[in-house]
Structure 1
Amino acid sequence: MPSQSEQIDSQRPRLLRIYNLYRVILGFGLTLLTSSVLRDGLLDLSDPPLYAKTSWVYLFINVLVALLLHRGRRDLHVFILTLADIGLLGVVFFAAGGVGSGFGNLLIIPVAIGNILLHGRIGLLLPALASIGLIYLTFFLSLTHPYIGQSYLQVGVLGCIYFAVALFVQRFSRRLYLSETLAQQQAATLASMEELNELIIQRMRTGIVVVGSDNRIVAGNEASAQMLARPILTGAALNKLVPELDKRLQQWRRNPSTRSTSFQSHSGSTEVLANFKPLGDSGDNTILIFLDDSTQIAQQAQQLKLASLGRLTASIAHEIRNPLGAISHAAQLLNESDQMDKQDLRLTEIIQQHSKRMNRVIETVLELSRRRPSEPQLIDLALWTSNFLNDFRAANPATDTIECEIEKEGILTRVDPNQITQVLDNLCQNAFRYSGAAGSHRTIYLKLYEDSSSQLPTIEVIDHGPGVAAEHVGHIFEPFYTTEASGTGLGLYISRELCESNQARLEYQTVTPTGSCMRITFAHPKRLV
């Protein structure tokens, strides 16, 4: 914060310009009174020649100082300037006839200006010199012009006025300085708070968009641009920039109690949940929109779900697995008996088959509940995909072929590679299963690319099998839902759960004319999982 002297220095040029303008005008006024025609009846001079010389000298000095204003900004220059004014105006006071002429009042302005620009004792020196000068000039005038009546009382009153003006100006200017300092401090605090608020809003994970009454965007932070996968342009129409968000805003305006549903700004983008709040009570219909990433909410719900599932599967292991083992063992013993006919043997095979299926379900659920938390790493998906294909081809029959298309090198994301390997392996196995019978020549397609609209890494697993019937599409990611007699209905469910724990999205897309596409959209590499 600048000191008082620094603030005075910043204001001094303006004050000096005003003061010099006053001095030039006063100089012209005094010189005009040198004409006997103009002063006739107004002023009775005691020494007209001295008055004329002093007035012209005063005018000349004032014009010269006004032209050289930029050179007189130090305290010494100001003191000399005001002291010269007091001296010259004192001579004018003497030539005009003393206190009766009223010219003593002209010294009030130099005293006041001097105490604005010069504080403390040096400022009080000016009224002291002015008072002493008037008293001396009054005394000398009484000696040289005894016929002119002089009043020392009036001179003393003028001296008191000079000191009163000096003290008042110093006190008043000090209060103005304190008020200005306080205002500057408050302005600096407000500016700092505004900058801090702007920084907090920009760095918030919650997206914020302000929409005016004309349905145009007023402001938006970085998080909202990332969630909507497009820059938030001030003044842009919301219905053109993000139609889905505009649709939910209109629904909220019609019925504010309606609960908003999550949406995607475009295919493959983040699932976003919008909440609306009127901005203030001004009635200008400005709306504050809060955007939350629903994948994080889903991830939290998933952790709660897995915790409950873990407790459930612990009881399943004790209550079902042991009786199931006894049933399977008994079926094996019956199968080894010589007294069993073909029909009974078929029944024991059915028992064995379904016991194994139930055991697989239990194993899968136990694996899901015991799953370790994700350990995300920054990986190059192109390199990782190549390594995955080498391992997959080595572990599967040569009749199963994967055609791979990688858009470019250096597609980065942040995931747990072990969990994503499990997901992609499951998706490829499902794709081969629907592409034909085991042992036949089957081909699926793997595509890795960066989505042009969202700039997010994407992997697609495509097969040209019969596809998923329309009535089943909405249920394929539900647990225990399957269209196969031998399936557990947990493969796609677990795959989606693993994707969500890595903030990736697993979606199903229909392929024309026939086939299925499982698409994994990964998070941005700079986004922490």
Structure 2
Amino acid sequence: MRRRPAKHDIDSGLRRELYFFNLYRVLEASLLALLAFGPTEMLIGPLREPLLVAATAMAYLACSAMLMIWGRDSASLRAPAFVGILIDIVVAALATHGAPQVASGIALMLLFNVGAAALFLPLRLGLGGAILAFSAILGEQLWTLIETGSDRPLAEMLMFGTSYLALATLTNQLGLRMQASEALATRRGAEAANLAEVNELIIRRMRTGVLLVDAEGHIRLANEAAQSLLGDAGDGRRALAVTAPELARRLLQWRQDGTTDNAPLRLGSDQNEVLPRFARLLADSEQSLVFLDDTSLLSRRAESITLAALGRFSASLAHEIRNPLAAISYAAQLMEESTDISLADRRMLQIVRQQCVRMNGIVESVLGLARRERANPEHIELVGLVRRFIDEYVAAHPLDDDSLQISHAAPAQVALVDPRHLQQILTVLVSNARTYGRLPGQPARITLRVHQDEGDPGIDVLDRGPGIPDAAAERLFRPFYTTSEHGTGLGLYIARDLARANEGELDYVRTPGGSCFRIRLPGPHTLLTEKAAQGLV
């Protein structure tokens, strides 16, 4: 994002100086015209060459106007400056010869022109202009000496020549310093602008809501997170007291006595709870910054940290449990093979083996929570995958009177997902539907519907059971939450975690006459052609 200063940015300051230099040259030409056509005879006496002075003044005035126009429109600054100083030198020599009474004044005015031109020229050209100016003044002196004789001392010419060289060198160095300073200022300005853009982007994309509230309680700025929490309030025109009265009350209390209420705050009936924090924009400013921390994000972060630690502990514990569990199961199996076991004891051994199987399932769930395997997504045709899943599930889990079928609108639907993870998610959802998605005394009716949700592929797992109460629906995907004494409460949590690992989502969707768990998956890669997509299996 860093932008280097453009050359026209650096030359903009010098172009302004060139404009004033050309304006000064017009003033010089006007003074020369006044000398030629004005009542100056009574002040300085008659001119030696009045026609020469008049012609020089008119030509100089015309050239000054053209130089001003050229300097304004020219892409380069050197050419107008160099041509201008050449014209100045010729005019100075001619005017000095035509009006010797003001020769010193003309030489002094030429001194400024030589120094100003050196601002825009390289050092060698600037010094060349100074040498030409000295040569012109010296040549005019020799011209006058040959024609009429001259009483001007040679030392005066030498002093003017030395002044031209010294001033040209000084102003050239000054011009270089000025260009370097302007380049540095332009670069610093670009860097400051880039930093401002980066800061604005960081604040705008922060997950923490940020509001800037002025002394009158109006929202001046709001980032994306704050706008999502406040709705249409983050447009910089609404009063905080109208949008969030409780938040405005807490802000006012903080401004008055510096105390903060740490209780979570719900900004709307359909919004998450937030924890507001306040800070002054500046030490002596009446504007305040309001930070809105989404408690759900904080809870998920704390939950993630807790589950990570719990997963590591559970993994080591599960491995320790599996060894004696395998020994118990093997011993019960051997005892069942004995002919000396009574029927009642054999029933007890069956109970032992069933509980070992159940315990092993719990251990597998805990290990699944701890593994967190990385997804290896592939382009998968969902209709074919769901058909194969149904065949494999029925082969491994006889349905008895239950039914499991597929529904799809399009013959093919491609998604980018890890097939192992998707099969594991579907296994959890179908098993839950068979357990909880049936009416009393009736078989389970489960449908896997392949569809598109807002352009993204997805799978709905539908049942015709009694549905899920609102109180339980809010906690469905929390770890270890279950309504059954035989469940671990980890199935749906692991299923959603696997969906998110594939950049998808798993949600519960309220539907009449049953339940619906919706799997949203990322679509195929944009470089995948339609023909190639149809060939996926």
Q: TM (normalized to structure 2)?
A: 0.69
Deviations 1:393-416 (A, max 9, x none): 566347322354435566555544
Please tell me whether the aligned partners of residues 15 and 77 of structure 2 are also in contact (alpha carbons under 8 angstroms): no
Counterpart-to-counterpart distance in 1, 2:404 and 2:332: 41
Q: For residue 109 of structure 1, what is the aligned residue in structure 2? A: 112
Pairing of 1:472-511 with structure 2 (within 5 A)? 479=480, 481-483=482-484, 488-490=486-488, 493-503=490-500
2:180 aligned partner, one-letter code: L
The yes-or-no answer on 1:310 pairing with 2:320 is no
How do 1:168-317 and structure 2 match up within 5 A?
168-190=170-192, 207=207, 210-213=210-213, 214-215=218-219, 218-220=222-224, 235=235, 258=262, 281=282, 284-287=287-290, 301-317=306-322
Give the counterpart of 1:84 among 70, 79, 87: 87
* Letter aligned with residue 25 of structure 2: R
Q: 1:29 is matched with which residue?
A: 31
Deviations 1:262-287 (A, max 9, x none): 999989xxx99999785953653345
Structure 2 equivalent of residue 363 of structure 1: 360
Q: Is it true that 1:96 corresponds to 2:93 in the alignment?
A: no
What per-residue deviation string (whole Å, max 9, x for no partner) do you get for residues 269-314 of structure 1? xx99999785953653345668869778756654433322222223
Return the alpha-carbon distance in structure 1 between the equivalents of residues 249 and 448 of structure 2: 40
**Greater CA radius of gyration, 1 or 2?**
1
1:118, 1:510 → 2: CA distance? 79
The aligned length equals: 493
**What is the letter of the counterpart of residue 318 of structure 2?**
T
Cα deviation for residue 123 of structure 1 reads 1.7
Deviates more, 1:291-300 or 1:459-468: 291-300
In 2, Cα distance between equivalents of 1:412 and 1:239: 48
Task: Give the SS at the match of 2:90.
Answer: helix
Deviation of the 1:173 alpha carbon: 1.0
SS in 2 for 1:368: helix
Q: Which amino acid aligns with 2:44?
A: L
**Cα shift at 1:368:** 2.4
Q: Distance in 2 between matches of 1:408 and 1:256?
A: 56
- Equivalent of 2:517 in 519, 524, 527: 519
For the residue of structure 2 that corresponds to 1:427, the secondary structure is helix
Which residue of 2 is the match for residue 377 of structure 1? 377
Query: What SS class does the counterpart of residue 288 from structure 2 fall into?
Result: coil
State the alpha-carbon separation in 2 of the partners of residues 369 and 297 from structure 1.
19
- The equivalent position to 2:133 in structure 1, one of 130, 134, 157, is 130
Pair 1:464 & 2:436 matched: no
Q: Gapped runs of 5+ residues in structure 1?
A: none
Deviation (angstroms), 1:161: 3.1
The answer for unaligned runs of 5 or more in structure 2 is: 526-537
Q: Offset at 1:249?
A: 7.6
CA distance in 2 between partners of 1:428 and 1:523 (Å) = 18
State the one-letter code of the partner of 2:496. C
How big is each residue's C-alpha offset from its partner over 1:60-91, in whole Å with a ceiling of 9 and x where there is no partner?
A: 44456556666896857754542332222222
Structure 1 distance, partners of 2:517, 2:75, is: 78
Change (3 A) 1:62 1:324: closer
Specify whether residues 426 and 100 from structure 1 end up closer, same or farther in structure 2 by C-alpha distance, changes over 3 A only: closer
Change in CA separation of 1:404 and 1:59 when aligned onto 2, cut-off 3 Å: same
Moved more, 295-304 or 164-173: 295-304
Matches within 5 A, 1:436-447: 442-447=444-449
Matched, 1:396 2:393: no
Q: Structure 2: how far apart are the matches of 1:117 and 1:436?
A: 92
Deviation (angstroms), 1:176: 0.8
Residue 359 of structure 1 deviates from its aligned partner by 0.9
Structure 1 pair 383–256 and aligned structure 2 pair: CA distance change class (3 A): farther
SS of the residue 1:421 aligns to:
helix
Q: Are positions 1:119 and 2:122 aligned together?
A: yes
1:428 to 410, 427, 430: 430
TM-score scaled to structure 1, two decimals? Answer: 0.70
Question: Structure 2: how far apart are the matches of 1:54 and 1:136?
Answer: 17
Say if 1:507 and 1:200 are closer, same or farther in 2 by CA, change over 3 A.
closer
